[in-house]
Amino acid sequence: MAERVYVALDLETTGLDQNRDAIIEIGAVKFSGDRVIDRFKTLVNPQRAIPRLITQITGIRDADVVDAPTIERVLPEVLAFVDSEVSAVIAHNADFDLGFLRAAGVNFRRPAYDTVELATILLPGAA
């Protein structure tokens, strides 16, 4: 039986509101077991200024994204990366990341596993 393939996904955004804010970076790693199959990383031009607080948190500046592709140009690449061989998507605070992608028009149609939920189960006293 073939090992399952997963994608670990992380986004950086201009804020917390998926309806008002925008994605500024997408990073993903496709893996099976302990083997990395592929990596995907891109900055995204949010077509708006990046708030100073977000730059302090992420290190991403307006100058970094000015020549980056827009989310509309990046989405086909993201969808291709999370292809049919992928069993599930894994993210820390998955509702946040996947909510931003849904707002941009992407629905992976696969299970999503949230590492925040997993951490609360495995490390109940850590929160």
Mean pLDDT of 91-106: 95
Asked if the model's pLDDT at residue 1 lies above 60, the reply is no
Q: Would you say 40 and 83 are in contact if contact means Cβ atoms under 8 Å apart?
A: no
List, for residues 66-82, the tens digit of each pLDDT value.
999 999 999 999 999 99
Mean pLDDT of 87-107: 95
94, two tokens: 């998955």
List, for residues 109-125, the tens digit of each pLDDT value.
899 999 998 888 888 87
Q: How confident is the model at residue 83 (pLDDT cuts 50, 70, 90)?
A: confident
Assign a CATH topology to domain 5-122.
Nucleotidyltransferase; domain 5 (3.30.420)
Closest to 78 measured CA to CA, from 7, 4, 17: 7
List, for residues 13-32, the tens digit of each pLDDT value.
999 999 999 999 999 999 99
Q: What is the pTM of this model?
A: 0.92
The domain spans of the chain are 5-122
